[in-house]
Structure 1
Amino acid sequence: MVKVKSRVLPIIPLSQGAVLLPGTTLRISILNRSDVAAILANIYSHAVKPKPDAPITIGCVPLNSSYLSPDGKLLLDGTKGSKAAKYETDPMSATAKDLFQYGTVAKVSGVQGRRPGEMSLVVEGISRFQVDKVIQERPYFEAEVVHHEDADVDITNTEIVQLFADLKQLSRELLALVRLSSLLPRASTPAISPITARRLEVYIAQKNIEDAGSLTDFLAHIIDASPEEKLRILSALSVQDRMERLTEMLQREIRALQKNGRILTVTTTTTPASSGFDIERLLKLRADQAARRGGVLPPGFGGGFPGGGSQGGEEEGNELDELKKRLDDAGLSPDAQKVAQRELARLHKMNPAQAEYQVCRTYLENLAEIPWTQTTNDHLGADTLKRARQQLDDDHYGLEKIKKRLLEYLAVLKLKQAVNADLESQIKHSTDDKSQLQATRTKRMIDKSPILLLVGPPGTGKTSLAKSVATALGRKFHRISLGGVRDEAEIRGHRRTYVAAMPGLIVQGLKKVGVCNPVFLLDEIDKVGGSNFHGDPSAAMLEVLDPEQNHTFTDHYVNIPIDLSKVLFIATANSLDTIPPALLDRMETIQLSGYTTLEKRHIATHHLLPKQITSNGLKQEHIVLPEDVLDKIIGSYTRESGVRNLERELGAVCRSKAVEYADAKDSESLKSYNPSVSVADLDTILGIERFDDEIAEQVARPGVVTGLVAYSTGGTGSILFIEVADVPGGGRVQLTGKLGDVLKESVEVALTWVKAHAFDLGLTADPSEDIMKRRDVHVHCPSGAIPKDGPSAGLAHTVALVSLFAGKAVPPHIAMTGEVSLRGKVTPVGGIKEKLIGALRAGVKTVLLPAGNRKEVREVPQEVRDGLEIVHVGSIWEGLGKVWPDADWPGERGWEVESRL
């Protein structure tokens, strides 16, 4: 082995079990591999222009194995058979101590994959190297390595020549056995196809002893070898050591194929060739006899080859015994136990060549994999509620209703388990008769998990909240995406009479998690397909999500009642409109409103920004985002209910600072790098502002009133100006601003009330005079392109009309919301939390709310309540008194004047 001068090389840690050898090709998945992207970006940014065709080389280093030392030496004998924990490391979280000491210099050939989730980096191994010193670990590994090139093979060394000859002979034998085993019935499928094996035979025959090193690496790559064996080949710098280790591997593979393939010799003593006896005729005769006896082959004639029946029968018997043991260990329910015994008896009587045999066996294997009684022990210790509350608070900000409901479930579950523990203790120490003991057992409290439905806009944390629940409970988590499911059989499974039948999504989820009390997330339940010729999937969910029925849920494939009452189902939806009423009635609905600006600021500061800083290869001190800059991003660049777009914009800011930091680092002028981001920088980084905030007027004008809306363009609250003007005319009312039917009706009600109380308001001198007799009124809401509708602007319209006709300006710092009736009552409206936050953001000081909305104010953040003066009014007269406290209205009938209509 010839050493080459050391150099610095970017390193890619391979996934657990993957090994790249010189002369071979490997595909490295780049999904969630930010280090691979960082390496390629750095290489391409420093590419030398005069040599555009120069190969791009990187270092591929496997991860350590629990059975080998970092330099490739076997650990103590027996380690592999011991119960030592398997060494598992995620390549993204690997450190320098997790890397194997040897690796392969690789050339980047390209990227393959049709879809984004399947993209892989294709690399070709060139030569070995030894890791001398790791220079950096993040954002990607860099290390000083020492290259090792294979020395010329000494053809005068008889030992090496004999090893090479044995190596070629063993490889030819292995490939011949691979081709032969593909012809045998029920033989294990070889890792190499017969056509590939033939091509490899030709390739090996063309190799000379000078190519011993490359041939050894190539054969170690194609044969069925464990990762540890490939690591030992990689660490063998001497060609002779490499050939010795590969010879042992080839001999083992040949023995395995000879045993599993049942390659036996047909002797001439039984059927002499000279006698002209036809073996095929004998086999056909015996098969016909077996068919007349019910499919049981006589001893010595199994599997289609004379003399092979005894061994095949023993193998089949061992497999059935193993299946019976798995069924016994599965803890089947009484109904499942009866079915399993019946099907297992049928299986013993069947000929394995029958098509029904595999169907029956697959069914029993599915029964053995379903967790009938296996459960996960919940984390219900002394500080259960405290830990769960801390877990939910760490993962999500706000969402108090759902957190409260989950903590209630935990508390109830803890109390039930305490009661059951006391009953078990009584039964254990009791001396009563069997009837009394049975009565005590019936007092056990059954756990019926709630079925929750989280309804809210996209990006508000519904899916991630379910994961946090599973973490807080210490249970297994499984997600089932129901979006676009149109076939009832996907929920309930296919009946066994169909070809390729399989269980439904629910049973498959139970098989995957392996316990009967997991947390199941039914994602996008509002997007399940409706009734069609495949059935109704939403109707199939009725039994799954009914607490009174799901303890006997029956899958069409299993056809045995399965208890789903211990499963904690959490469904998510964006809207309730598309969920059938019968299905909606079975779930406990919890509304998740969109995040407010204050909540978005907290989430961005404590969760999104640190995540993006780490994802983009920066450190916390490399970027400083002041609060005013964060508010600008939230208000002017993202108008949404959730935080997905906010995370994207923060990622864009971090990437921009990453470019600045990388340039400063390359030019060795880090002192000139400014980590702070200003409001002026956002125009360069994110472009022009996409949204404008409505700001309260500074000058008061008659006929102009500030209203409130709960949901503007991005699902957040804001203010809405209502402008009223009168012109000479004949009493016509004109409405503009893309108003909906509800808002138009609010204007009509407000105008009718003002006309009915014109004399009381001092707008006319004669009670019978019509104030609209010689004028037209034009009501306009700016931002005409945005649709506006909802029962929340009646009070604002009424005050605007009074302001116009009386010539009194409404103070600009006052905003109001509420619907009105013809009797002058101010009725409650929705979206109070969003409206108040929008008013505070727009600079409003005082807000008039309906008296019926007092209870909703308690859910508003304390910061908003402290920044606004909230006044509750029950009637229009009371609202007018708050707007103009010094006004002296003629007609002293007080503020309780009712309509004369």
Structure 2
Amino acid sequence: MGKAKASKILPVIPLAKGLVLYPGQHLSLSIVDRPDLTALLAHIYSTANSPRGNIPIHIGCLPLTSSLLSPDGKLLIEDGKAEKTKLAEVLPAAAEGKDLYSIGTVAKISGVQGRRQGELNLVVEGVTRFKTIKFIQERPYFEAELVVIDEEAIIASDTVLQEQFATLKQLSREFLALVRLSSLLPRSPSTTLSPLIARRIELFVARKDIQDAGALADFMATVLDCSQEEKLRVLSALPIKERLALVIEIIQKQLVKLQGNGRIMTITTTAPNTELPGGIDIERLRNQIQQHGFKSLGPNLAGIGPLPPGFPGAPGQTGGEEVNELEELKKRLDEAKMSPEANKIALRELGRLQKMNPAQAEYQVMRNYLETLAEIPWSKVTEDNLDTTVLARARKQLDNDHYGLEKIKKRLLEYLAVLKLKQGANAALEAQIQRLHESAKAKEEGETKAIEEDAEAKPVVPKPVLSEDTAALELAIREKQRMIDKAPILLLVGPPGTGKTSLAKSIAHALGRKFHRVSLGGVRDEAEIRGHRRTYVAAMPGLIVNGLKKMGVANPVILLDEIDKLGMANFHGDPSAAMLEVLDPEQNHTFVDHYVNIPIDLSKVLFIATANSLDTIPAPLLDRMETVQLSGYTTLEKRHIATRHLLPKQITTNGLADDKVQLPEEVLDKIIMAYTRESGVRNLEREIGSVCRYKAVEYAEAQDSPEKLQQYKPLVSLEDLDEILGIERFDEELAERTSRPGVVTGLVAYSSGGQGSILFIEVQDMPGKGRVQLTGKLGDVLKESVEVALTWVKSHAFELGLTADPAEDIMKSRSVHVHCPSGAIPKDGPSAGLAHTIALISLFSGHPVPPTIAMTGEISLRGKVTPVGGIKEKLIGALRAGVKTVLLPYGNRKDVRDLPVEVKEGLRIEHVQHIWEAMRLVWPDVHWPGESRWTGFDSRL
């Protein structure tokens, strides 16, 4: 609460109904029919010749009281017995002491306005609040003994006060915005506040800080359409917090009323002399603005009344709204440190904007454009955290965040090492440029000194600081710098759930850079990448420029998520073609967005794209990116990921403690093998979440009684999984298979999901005339493999011991049916020729193939086994399916080096070059009649 001073005696002026003066505000009081004001002015003028110097004349202003309020400003409860004073019948000139409120405002007289009798007004300015002790006289004018109350000190660190002040400013802006919009709707016949004046008041409110909290509350109480009781309560609210809360309540009521009526209401006052804060008559002010405009009004607004201090257009203010905002915009453009070309265009557009009328439609378009230029980070960059321990720290960061993925981790560490070396190279080039400038400057100073020493020398035009050779050298160094600054474009390709997005976040964290994600899935419009032309309605920059604006630096890590799902060419353009310039290290240093239309340097941005498949990415776009493959996780890797990341995350998510859920390794392996079959770990996380939720229900019920709580067991056993997760979704695929002739296990890698699996090939013969029947929805690739395999077996039937005569056809009196139950699954390419050949040999010879042996590879008509792709995915699928031995083409030896340790230890991998080598490995105890002919065969000859 404010601090009271010693009492003093001052003249007091009663205010008319509906008028309340607050400190810092101006008020214009009509002298017509006011004998008390006339007597007071006569007394003031009669003492004007006394030696007062520049001391202002102070008076007290007291509003009329209300029977609904107590003397301290509290609302009274109406009980039917309170005597109600009819304020409408009380005139200020006839008011008595009991009709006046106990709290008022000390004001200083600013002057008398008006030229003719009947138009004179006394202008007063509120200084501080006071409390009346007693009235000394009532006629011819009031005099009272009063106590001045100073405003209480504001503690800026008070969080409650800060919150109240912020709420008041926000509500004030909302209210004034509604007033500005009222010009677009039908107006009521009452007096309205001009939208232009409301905008100026809005700017005035925006400039206030927390030290002006009390003054702002008083200001808004003057602007708002308050009742007499509300105005008196604000005047009586001496504590700042109480005053702010009261004004906030008044604004909220008026906003609710506006929304309830479904239209924008207008601001009115009931006093005959309708006034704006500062003693400004609204009607006269609006007419003056319509006739002469704002700039012609001057500090006193053409005689309407002086503006309050700090109000836009008042003395001490530099200019109006547009001038101040354009100066601020120019300052922001200067601070942006744009490129020379961008700076030239920005200054030109700013000059046009300053000459343009704000009412023009193009004004806001141009202003938005300049604000966009100011927000783009042209030269501001994040300093990379490249100290001496950056590589060790980054390696530790990647290992903590991701298990496995050694290939991608190696590539990222290479990038960090190169970046560290680039930093040193750039520093050396900058030092070289600095030496060039210093040398040129010294040379120029020497030439100038020699000219000055020659008294007879004629004046010469000074040469530029840099000669042509030096400038060319600097340009070459700058070009070299640009080449060093190039960042690679990485493309992480792998099945869903393998951690591509989280890898990009880890890279940004290791570098200490800002991270931004751009989702390209479903983008069908080229303008979303390159932006819209400024001539279009609601034009805006593209996703890339918006990302730079949001991050505020020129070298963030931008993740281009799901680039393989980017839209193709249509009537909106080709979004994938628009990405060519973004992802080309040779072009993106001059990337042009259609909205900005100025080259922007994207070479410092580290772009990381993600995709599930390369099939839908156009070849030109794929050529601009460095592809890094992420294959699926093995069972061992999934177990580590679940233990280190997924299980702790789900325990925390479901509100449990670490010791309330325990999943042993065998339980995790059972969930991985029997309930999830995926390359990533998303479904695994869902299943672990189901287990944690089950235990959460069990633990929550156990907390109801101490006995149940003691019986609660956090350990999850294998027997519990059937109750928690249901029946097993996946069985061991080889468990029910028995050895029989004509059945072989092949390997396939799914191209859509990136995971591998086994492929059963079943061959059966029957009486017939050499017909070959293919089922299983086989594609053309598998059909060709069957035909090649059958041709080889028929041509070598005598050597295999299948016929007694070399000229006999084994298919003369029989037909063959080849079936692949999973043949319809999309795969990476031809890879089942070896399996088909072994299956046919097994069928015709009667020798079964062991079910734990699987094979992949294509064959030629000569029986040579050719290499295939997707080895890692196929072997991971084979290990998951229970295969023990795998036959691979000899040409795939290099692919085995990148296999996980678990796969190498869990499988016996044999490399074969020819069908005969595969037959010896499949049937080591069988002797073939023609095998001796192929002893020492080398397919490489």
On the 8 A contact 2:495/2:755 being kept in 1, the answer is: no
* TM-aligned CA distance change 1:383 to 1:204, over 3 Å: same
1:464-518 Cα deviation digits (max 9, x unpaired): 2211111111111111122222222222222222333222222221111111111
State the partner residue of 1:187. 200
Q: Distance in 2 between matches of 1:837 and 1:204?
A: 78
SS at match of 1:834: helix
State the partner residue of 2:665. 627
Q: Looking at CA atoms only, which structure, 1 or 2, has the larger radius of gyration?
A: 2
State the partner residue of 2:511. 473
* TM-aligned CA distance change 1:413 to 1:898, over 3 Å: closer
Deviation at 1:787, TM superposition (A): 7.1
* TM-aligned CA distance change 1:678 to 1:182, over 3 Å: farther
On the 8 A contact 1:371/1:511 being kept in 2, the answer is: yes
1:398-424 Cα deviation digits (max 9, x unpaired): 233332222222111111211222344
- Show the 5 A alignment for 1:569-608: 569-608=607-646
Unaligned ranges ≥5, structure 2: 2-67, 78-100, 106-128, 130-163, 180-191, 207-216, 253-274, 442-465
Deviation at 1:697, TM superposition (A): 6.3
State the partner residue of 2:490. 452
State the partner residue of 1:114. none
Q: Distance in 2 between matches of 1:167 and 1:361?
A: 49
SS at match of 1:187: helix
Deviation at 1:432, TM superposition (A): 3.9
State the partner residue of 1:702. 741
State the partner residue of 2:143. none
SS at match of 1:502: coil
SS at match of 2:732: coil
Paired amino acid for 2:884: K
Deviation at 1:656, TM superposition (A): 0.3
State the partner residue of 1:373. 379
Q: Distance in 2 between matches of 1:285 and 1:219?
A: 38
Is 1:386 the counterpart of 2:392? The answer is yes
Deviation at 1:567, TM superposition (A): 0.9
State the partner residue of 1:835. 874
Paired amino acid for 1:884: W
State the partner residue of 1:856. 895
1:602-657 Cα deviation digits (max 9, x unpaired): 22121111110111111222111122221222222222232212111111110001
1:810-847 Cα deviation digits (max 9, x unpaired): 23332222111111011112222222233333333222
Q: Distance in 2 between matches of 1:630 and 1:167?
A: 77
Paired amino acid for 2:417: A
On the 8 A contact 2:73/2:232 being kept in 1, the answer is: no
Q: Distance in 2 between matches of 1:678 and 1:267?
A: 83
1:680-714 Cα deviation digits (max 9, x unpaired): 22221122222223125675322222222334997
1:809 to 845, 848, 868: 848
SS at match of 1:186: helix
On the 8 A contact 1:704/1:809 being kept in 2, the answer is: yes
State the partner residue of 1:338. 344
State the partner residue of 2:712. 673
How many residue pairs match? The answer is 691
State the partner residue of 2:839. 800
1:574-625 Cα deviation digits (max 9, x unpaired): 2333333322222222222233333222221211111101111112221111
* TM-aligned CA distance change 1:298 to 1:265, over 3 Å: closer
- Show the 5 A alignment for 1:195-234: 219=246, 222=249
Greater Cα offset, 684-693 or 374-383:
684-693
State the partner residue of 2:883. 844
State the partner residue of 2:787. 748
Q: Distance in 1 between matches of 2:242 and 2:327?
A: 43
* TM-aligned CA distance change 1:766 to 1:833, over 3 Å: same
State the partner residue of 2:410. 404
On the 8 A contact 1:525/1:579 being kept in 2, the answer is: yes
- Show the 5 A alignment for 1:71-86: none
State the partner residue of 2:427. 421
1:866 to 905, 922, 927: 905
State the partner residue of 1:771. 810
SS at match of 1:893: helix
Greater Cα offset, 871-880 or 401-410:
401-410
Is 1:328 the counterpart of 2:334? The answer is yes
State the partner residue of 1:253. none
1:647 to 685, 688, 706: 685
On the 8 A contact 1:640/1:715 being kept in 2, the answer is: no
SS at match of 1:776: strand
Paired amino acid for 1:744: K
2:648 to 607, 610, 619: 610
Deviation at 1:379, TM superposition (A): 0.7
Deviation at 1:264, TM superposition (A): 4.6
* TM-aligned CA distance change 1:785 to 1:757, over 3 Å: closer
Greater Cα offset, 570-579 or 704-713:
704-713
Q: Distance in 2 between matches of 1:804 and 1:420?
A: 69
Greater Cα offset, 456-465 or 365-374:
456-465
Deviation at 1:285, TM superposition (A): 4.9
- Show the 5 A alignment for 1:80-159: 159=72
Is 1:719 the counterpart of 2:758? The answer is yes
* TM-aligned CA distance change 1:200 to 1:494, over 3 Å: farther
1:4-52 Cα deviation digits (max 9, x unpaired): xxxxxxxxxxxxxxxxxxxxxxxxxxxxxxxxxxxxxxxxxxxxxxxxx
On the 8 A contact 1:740/1:787 being kept in 2, the answer is: no
Is 1:888 the counterpart of 2:927? The answer is yes
Deviation at 1:526, TM superposition (A): 2.4
Paired amino acid for 2:773: Q
TM-score by length of 1: 0.69
SS at match of 1:613: helix
Deviation at 1:519, TM superposition (A): 0.9
Q: Distance in 1 between matches of 2:871 and 2:229?
A: 77
On the 8 A contact 1:168/1:204 being kept in 2, the answer is: no
- Show the 5 A alignment for 1:284-363: 285-286=291-292, 310-311=313-314, 313-363=319-369
Q: Distance in 2 between matches of 1:377 and 1:480?
A: 23
Q: Distance in 2 between matches of 1:336 and 1:525?
A: 30
State the partner residue of 2:156. none
1:128-148 Cα deviation digits (max 9, x unpaired): xxxxxxxxxxxxxxxxxxxxx
Paired amino acid for 2:899: V
Paired amino acid for 1:460: T
* TM-aligned CA distance change 1:797 to 1:895, over 3 Å: farther
Q: Distance in 2 between matches of 1:564 and 1:591?
A: 25
1:75-112 Cα deviation digits (max 9, x unpaired): xxxxxxxxxxxxxxxxxxxxxxxxxxxxxxxxxxxxxx
TM-align CA RMSD: 4.4
1:511 to 538, 542, 549: 549
TM-score by length of 2: 0.66
Q: Distance in 2 between matches of 1:797 and 1:407?
A: 44
Q: Distance in 2 between matches of 1:653 and 1:177?
A: 53
SS at match of 2:760: strand
Identity of aligned residues (%): 67
State the partner residue of 2:267. none
Q: Distance in 1 between matches of 2:688 and 2:858?
A: 39
State the partner residue of 2:863. 824
State the partner residue of 1:875. 914
2:728 to 685, 689, 694: 689
